[in-house]
Amino acid sequence: MQKIFMILILLFGMASAWAAVNINTASIQQLQSLPYIGAIKAQAIVDYRNTHGSFHSTKDIMRVKGIGKATYEKLQNDISVSGESVNPAVSASKYRRALPATAVR
């Protein structure tokens, strides 16, 4: 019984790690949890969304100033245009370079 319970917990944990951030509803903080998206690009995504409406496909994010094909290709598996936004920090952590222990975040 414990093995089944542990398997279910692992499967649930993996599903949330694979979940994407909905670029149509995500907050600036959720957008910043994506690899290669900092405060300026996150704000640009929200501003674009407020001005032009919802993104119809994930490729539409390339219309945001500062997000080109290379960035899109790195993000495409972590973003969506539907569903609930889930923080992908677990999967995104592999993209962020380590900072020295004395660095201020």
Q: 21-81: what fold? A: DNA polymerase; domain 1 (1.10.150)
Percent of the chain with pLDDT over 90: 58
User: Whole-angstrom Cα distance, residue 13 to residue 87?
Assistant: 12
For residue 25, give the DSSP letter: T
- pTM equals 0.65
Summarize pLDDT for 18-61 with one digit per residue, the tens. 569 999 999 999 999 999 999 999 999 999 999 999 999 999 99
